[in-house]
Amino acid sequence: MANSQRAGRNNALLIVTALFVMAWATTASAGEATTSPDEAYLDALRGTWDMAGSFGGTPVRYNAEGQRVLQGGFLRLHMIDATSPPQYEADVFIGFDHKANDYVAHWLDRFGAAGARVVARGVREGQRLVLTFPYAEGAFRDTFNWQPTTQSWSLLLESQAVDGTWSTFASYTLTRRAKH
């Protein structure tokens, strides 16, 4: 075998080995990300939920489903009004930024693009995640509380007045839907 052929094979072997190592490293880091406490916290929202609560003092009920999307980069919580026809529908995308050590969220709903311009940032302490959406008209604060003993969530949405005070906008309890 000629030296040029041997060199070509060695280069090809080196490239294949480098690609294998890169693929393994990417898989290993993705596996580590899904097992971090912050990712595990989000994973607790996976599944099908009954979501009951109040909006402006009026009782409301939604069907909700949490699932990993975009190759696991975000948890999407899809909510749709249980009435027919539905009056409200939203997707909330929540992800953890390992570099910045915080959460980001996008709330997309039936009201369209105007309300989707703002990205929330948040921090988690224990089982409580507080996300703040800095809207120009006044901030919104979404507080997720995970109750591991009951395998349920509470979600409190608050709006901030011009004077800086917070008031309840909506509150919900999410309980796992029984499997049939």
For the chain, which residues make up each domain, given as ranges?
A: 1-35, 37-176
Which pLDDT does position 180 carry in this prediction?
A: 54
CATH topology of domain 37-176: Lipocalin (2.40.128)
Instruction: Determine which helix (DSSP H) or strand (DSSP E) holds 137, and give its type and residue range.
Output: none
Rounded distance between C-alpha atoms, residue 123 and residue 130, angstroms: 6
SS3 of 29, please?
Answer: helix
Which pLDDT does position 66 carry in this prediction?
A: 94
Instruction: Please list the rounded mean pLDDT of every run of 10 residues in the chain (180 residues).
Output: 49 37 40 66 90 91 93 90 90 92 90 78 93 90 94 94 91 85
